C-alpha cells in the first residue's frame, strides 16, 4: 500500500468520528496547519489557476482555524481567499457557488468596510444576472451604506449597478437619479471603466425616453472611455447599443458595421456572456435590415452560449427576440415553443422579461386563431404592467388583449380597451393598431361603415409597418368572418 493512501478513511462516518475525537482547540490548530501547508505548496507551484481553484478550500481552513476567538491574521487570510474563490466561481459561471462565497464574505465579522461593500456589489450584480431584482437592490443599497464616502471607485460601481437594476424595473426617474450619483463618483475617481458604464447607463435612459441623439452622444462617450480602460473589449456593449440606435434611425449600413465590430470585440474578451449579448445585438440588426437567415444564425448561437453558461435570463431574451423573426416568417409553432421556454426561464425574474414574453406569445396565439389562450397571456401581462414602473408597455399589452377579445367576437370589450389605450402619445404603430381594432369593432357592433373603411385603409398600408406586422392578419380574419 502506498503511503499516500494508507490513511484514507474507509467510510465518511469513520472520518467524522476521528475528527470529533480532537478537542476544538486542536482541530483549529490542525486547520491552521493545513492552511499553512496549502498556501506554501501552491506558492511553490506558481500555478495561479490552481490557487484560484483551491481558494474556497483554503478559506474554509482559515474559518475553522480561527476558532471561537477571532484571529485577525486568519480573518484577513480567510477574506482574501473568499474574494479569490468568489471571483473564480464567477469566471467559471458557477453561480450558486459564487453567491455563497460572496455572501459569506459580506457577512464576515471584522473586515474592512470597503471589502464588505465590494462583496455586496458582487452579490448585487450576481442577483441581477439571476433576475432577482429585489435581492440585487437590497445588496447594492447595503453596499452604498457601508462604503466609505471617499471610496469613489467603489461607490461608482455600486451606483452604476443600482442604476441598471432601476432600468430593469423601467423606473426611469429613479434610474436617472442614481445614474447622476454614479457619474459624479466616476468623475471623482477618474476610472475609465466606471465612466464608460455611467455614460452607457445615461444613454439607455435617454433611449428609453426616445431621446435618440442625446443617447447616441452618451454611447460614443462610453465607447471612448471603455477603449481607454483596462478592459477595452467591453466597448462591445455600448457599441452594440449604438448599432441598434442607428438601425432605429434607418441607418442600416452604419448599424451593421457597428454590430460587426461589437461581435469582434466581444470575442476578444473571451467572456461567453459578452459574446452572447453581442450576437443577440447583431441578430436584432439583421432582423431590422432585414437579413433573416443571418439573424436566425446569430439568435441560435447566442441562445446556445447563454444556456451553456447557465444564464437563462439571457437565453430568454434570445428566445423572445428570435420569436419576432419567427412571427415575421409565420413559423408559429416554433415561436410558441421558444416563448413558453422564455416565460419559464424568467418566471421568477421580477423584471419585464416574462411580461414581454407573454405579449409575444399572445400575438402568436392570435395568429394561430387561439383567442382564449391569447387572452390569458395578454391579460396577465397587462395586469402586471398597469400602475407600475413598466407602464410604458401598457399600450402594447392592451393592443394584444384587444385583438384576442376581437377574435372571440367580444367586440364591445375590445372596443372599450382600444379606445382607452389609443390616446395621443402612444407609439404610432401601436396607436394605428388600436384605432383599426376600434374601427372594426364599431362596424361589427353598429354597422359603422366609416370604421370598416378605416380598417381597409390600414390593411392596405400597414403591412410595411413592422411594429404592427401581425395585426393586419388578425384584422383580415375578423373582417371577412360573418357574425
What class is the 352-483 domain? mainly alpha
Rg (CA), the chain: 27
pLDDT score for 176: 94
Range with the poorest average pLDDT among 185-194, 227-236, 387-396: 387-396
d(CA 390, CA 352): 7
| Percent of the chain surpassing pLDDT 70 | 89
Assess whether the previous peptide bond of 290 is cis (omega < 30° from 0).
yes
Q: Measure the CA–CA gap between 218 and 237, rounded to whole angstroms.
A: 13
Choose between 2 and 208: higher pLDDT.
208
Cα–Cα distance for residue pair 424/428, rounded to 1 Å: 9
C-alpha cell of 346?
424568467
DSSP symbol at 233: G
Mean pLDDT lowest for which of 24-28, 45-49, 246-250, 330-334?
Answer: 24-28
Reported as type and span, the H/E element at residue 138 is: helix 133-146
- Stretch 287-291: mean pLDDT: 86
DSSP code, position 5:
G
How many Å separate Cα 425 from the centre of its chain? 28
Whether residue 275 has pLDDT greater than 80: yes
pLDDT band at 113 (very low <50, low <70, confident <90, very high): very high
Q: What pLDDT score does 46 carry?
A: 82
pLDDT score of 189 more than 70: yes
CATH number of 264-342: 1.25.40
Say how many C-beta atoms besides its own lie within 10 A of residue 43's C-beta: 10
- C-alpha–C-alpha distance, residues 234 and 191, integer Å: 14
Q: What does the alpha-carbon distance between residue 359 and residue 364 come to, in Å, rounded to a whole number? A: 9
Listed in order, the ranges of the chain carrying CATH 1.25.40.10 are 112-230, 352-483
How crowded is residue 150: how many other Cβ atoms within 10 Å of its Cβ?
10
* pLDDT at position 11: 55
More confident residue, 34 or 425: 34
- Mark 385-420 as b/e (b = at least 16 C-beta within 10 Å): beebbbebbbbbbbbbbbbbbbbeebbebbbebbbe
Q: Exposure string (b/e) for 342-371, b if CB count within 10 Å is 16 or more? A: bbebbeebbbbbbbbbbbbbbbbbbbeebb
Q: Which residue has the higher pLDDT, 13 or 273?
A: 273
- For 316-345, what is the mean pLDDT? 91
Q: 112-230 sits in which CATH class?
A: mainly alpha
pLDDT class of 6 with cuts at 50, 70, 90 = very low
- Mean pLDDT (the chain, rounded): 86
Q: What is the structure's pLDDT at 385?
A: 78
7-to-2, 11, 37, 187, 387 alpha-carbon distances in Å: 10, 12, 18, 59, 66
Q: Give the pLDDT mean for 37-56.
A: 88
* Exposed/middle/buried for residue 184 (C-beta within 10 Å: 0-12, 13-18, 19+): middle
Strand, coil or helix: 346: coil
Contact 435, 418 (CB under 8 A): yes
pLDDT in tens, 344-403: 887 754 444 678 889 999 999 999 999 999 999 999 989 887 765 455 678 889 999 999
pLDDT digits (tens, 9 = 90+) for 419-468: 988 776 677 778 888 888 999 999 989 887 887 887 887 777 655 444 44
Place of cell 446569430: 298
Task: Kindly tell me if the per-residue pLDDT of 130 is higher than 80.
Answer: no
Amino acid at each position: 500500500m502506498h503511503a499516500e493512501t494508507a490513511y484514507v478513511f474507509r467510510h465518511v462516518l469513520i472520518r467524522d468520528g476521528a475528527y470529533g475525537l480532537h478537542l476544538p482547540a486542536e482541530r483549529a490548530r490542525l486547520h491552521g496547519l493545513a492552511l499553512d501547508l496549502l498556501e506554501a505548496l501552491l506558492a511553490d507551484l506558481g500555478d495561479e489557476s490552481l490557487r484560484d481553484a483551491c481558494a474556497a478550500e483554503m478559506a474554509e481552513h482559515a474559518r475553522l482555524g480561527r476558532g471561537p476567538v477571532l484571529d485577525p491574521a486568519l480573518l484577513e487570510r480567510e477574506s482574501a481567499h473568499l474574494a479569490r474563490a468568489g471571483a473564480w466561481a464567477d469566471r467559471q459561471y458557477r453561480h450558486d457557488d459564487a453567491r455563497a462565497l460572496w455572501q459569506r464574505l459580506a457577512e464576515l465579522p471584522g473586515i474592512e468596510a470597503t471589502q464588505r461593500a465590494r462583496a455586496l456589489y458582487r452579490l448585487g450584480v450576481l442577483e441581477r444576472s439571476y433576475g432577482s431584482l429585489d435581492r440585487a437592490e437590497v445588496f447594492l443599497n447595503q453596499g452604498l451604506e457601508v462604503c466609505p464616502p471617499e471610496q469613489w471607485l467603489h461607490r461608482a460601481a455600486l451606483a452604476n449597478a443600482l442604476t441598471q437594476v432601476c432600468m430593469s424595473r423601467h423606473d426611469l426617474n429613479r434610474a436617472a437619479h442614481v445614474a447622476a450619483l454614479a457619474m459624479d463618483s466616476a468623475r471623482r475617481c477618474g476610472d475609465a471603466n466606471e465612466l464608460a458604464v455611467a455614460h452607457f447607463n445615461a444613454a439607455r435612459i435617454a433611449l428609453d425616453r426616445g431621446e435618440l441623439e442625446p443617447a447616441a452622444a452618451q454611447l460614443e462617450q462610453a465607447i471612448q472611455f471603455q477603449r481607454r480602460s483596462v478592459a477595452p473589449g467591453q466597448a462591445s456593449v455600448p457599441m452594440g447599443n449604438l448599432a441598434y440606435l442607428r438601425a432605429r434611425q434607418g441607418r442600416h449600413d452604419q448599424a451593421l458595421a457597428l454590430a460587426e465590430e461589437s461581435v469582434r470585440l466581444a470575442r476578444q474578451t473571451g467572456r461567453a456572456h459578452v459574446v452572447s449579448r453581442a450576437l443577440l445585438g447583431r441578430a436584432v440588426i439583421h432582423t431590422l435590415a432585414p437579413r433573416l437567415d443571418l439573424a436566425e444564425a446569430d439568435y441560435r448561437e447566442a441562445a446556445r452560449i447563454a444556456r451553456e453558461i447557465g444564464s437563462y435570463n439571457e437565453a430568454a431574451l434570445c428566445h423572445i427576440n428570435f420569436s419576432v423573426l419567427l412571427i415575421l416568417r409565420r413559423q408559429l409553432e416554433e415561436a410558441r415553443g421558444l416563448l413558453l421556454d422564455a416565460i419559464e426561464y424568467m418566471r421568477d425574474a421580477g423584471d419585464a422579461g416574462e411580461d414581454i414574453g407573454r405579449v409575444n406569445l399572445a400575438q402568436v396565439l392570435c395568429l394561430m386563431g387561439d383567442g382564449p389562450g391569447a387572452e390569458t397571456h395578454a391579460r396577465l401581462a397587462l395586469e402586471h404592467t398597469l400602475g407600475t414602473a413598466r407602464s410604458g408597455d401598457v399600450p402594447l399589452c392592451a393592443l394584444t388583449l384587444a385583438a384576442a377579445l376581437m377574435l372571440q367576437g367580444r367586440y364591445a370589450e375590445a372596443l372599450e380597451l382600444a379606445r382607452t389605450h389609443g390616446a395621443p402619445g402612444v407609439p404610432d404603430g401601436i396607436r394605428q393598431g388600436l384605432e383599426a381594432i376600434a374601427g372594426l369593432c364599431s362596424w361589427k357592433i353598429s354597422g359603422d361603415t366609416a370604421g370598416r373603411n378605416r380598417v381597409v385603409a390600414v390593411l392596405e398600408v400597414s403591412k410595411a409597418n413592422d411594429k404592427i406586422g401581425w395585426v393586419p392578419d388578425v384584422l383580415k380574419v375578423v373582417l371577412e368572418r360573418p357574425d
